[in-house]
Structure 1
C-alpha cells in the first residue's frame, strides 16, 4: 500500500520522452494551489484508488529552487497526508524526489493555468511512469483534458484509462 500511495502522491508524473521540453532558463511559477484533475499511467490503477478523493495541492518554493508539495487524499476511508520535496536539478523543468529515485518533469499545458507533471520511478523494486494534469481551479477543462490525453498517448501511457479523482476542499470520512 505504501508503494501505491507513494506512486499516487508522487503520482505527479512520467517522462514524456517523445516531446521536447521548453528550452528556457526558468520554468514558470508553479507555486500556489493546484487541483489534481487527471492521472494517466503505464500501469493499471488499482481498484481501491478509483474511490480516491483529493484536496487541493499546495506547492511552496523553498531555498535553492526546491519545491514543497502537500495534499491530503481520502483512500479506502482513510485520510492520508502526502508531502514531499521536489529537488531542483540543473534543468529548469526537471526535479528529483527521494534522493533521485524518482524524476519529475514540469511542463506547461497548451491550456492556460494548467500543467502536466510527468513522473518516472527509478526504484528497481517498483518502476512506473505516470502523468498528472494540474489546474488552478477544480473544474475539468475539456480542452486541457484533451491536451493531457494527447501528451499521455505520446508518452506511451494508457490514454484510454485516465483516472479523474474526486475533488474535495477538506479530507473527511464519510458520515463524519
Structure 2
C-alpha cells in the first residue's frame, strides 16, 4: 500500500496490515471532505455561540438583581412620612402638624396591613386597615375599593412615594401623597424627587407640607 492509500485508510478506518490506524470514524455531516480546517472553524463558531448565550444569560440575571419587580419588594417595617401633599381637597384645619411612624406588616398574597397613629382632639388615635394587592405592580386598594394606593420607588434607597386616591361614583374626589422613608432623617435628593412627582401629577407645590415627625404619640395628663 502506497502512502496515498495509507492516508485514506487513516481517516476512513480502513485496516492497514490487519490493524486499524488513525482517528475514529467521523460523520460526513461534520467533516468537509478533505478539509480539516473547516472542522476547526465549526468548533470555533459553536464555542462563540455558547459564549454569547452564557453572556446574555448573565446580563439578564444581573438586571434582575439590580431592579427586582415591585411585587417582590418587602414593605414590612416602620415608615416615616417626610413630606406630604394633597390635591386641594384637604381643609387647612385638618392638615397635621405632627405625624408618627407608620407600621406595615406583609400579609399573605401580597396584602399589606397598615397601622397609622394620629393626634385628634388631644388624644392618640390608632387606625388600622389593609391594602389589598392588585394585579398591577405597585397598586393597592383599600376601604372596599373606595381608595386606590399607588406605591412608587424613588432613586434614593429605602424611599418610596405613596399616593392615595379616593374614588366616588367613578371619579376622583381625594388625593394625598406621602414621601416615606425607612428613617426619619432629611434627604434633599428624595425631597426633590417628591417635588418632581407633584409636578408630574399636576398637583400644586403650595399644597405640599413637611410635618414634624414624632417618635411616639403620648397623651398629656
Band the TM-score falls in, shorter-chain normalisation? 0.7 to 0.9
Q: 1:49 maps to what in 2?
A: 94
* TM-score, L = length of structure 2: 0.63
* 1:137 matched to 2:175: no
- Judging by fraction of residues, say which structure has more helix: 2
Q: Mind listing any 5+ residue stretches in structure 1 that lack a counterpart?
A: 1-21
Instruction: Report Cα offsets for 1:143-163 as digits up to 9, x if no partner.
Output: 111110110111011223312
Instruction: Choose from 206, 210, 218 the match for 1:160.
Output: 206
Q: 1:104 maps to what in 2?
A: 149
With a CA cutoff of 8 Å and minimum separation of 6, indicate the structure with the bigger relative contact order: 1
- Which range moved further: 157-166 or 83-92? 157-166
* 1:81 matched to 2:126: yes
1:25, distance to aligned residue in structure 2 (A)? 6.1
1:50, distance to aligned residue in structure 2 (A)? 3.9
Aligned-residue Cα RMSD (Å) equals 2.2
Larger radius of gyration: 2
1:135, distance to aligned residue in structure 2 (A)? 0.5
Instruction: Choose from 28, 42, 62 the match for 2:73.
Output: 28
1:92, distance to aligned residue in structure 2 (A)? 2.1
User: Which runs of structure 1 show a deviation greater than 4 angstroms over 4 or more consecutive aligned residues?
Assistant: none
Distance (Å, rounded) in 2 between the aligned partners of 1:146 and 1:67 = 27
Q: Mind listing any 5+ residue stretches in structure 2 that lack a counterpart?
A: 1-66
* TM-score, L = length of structure 1: 0.78
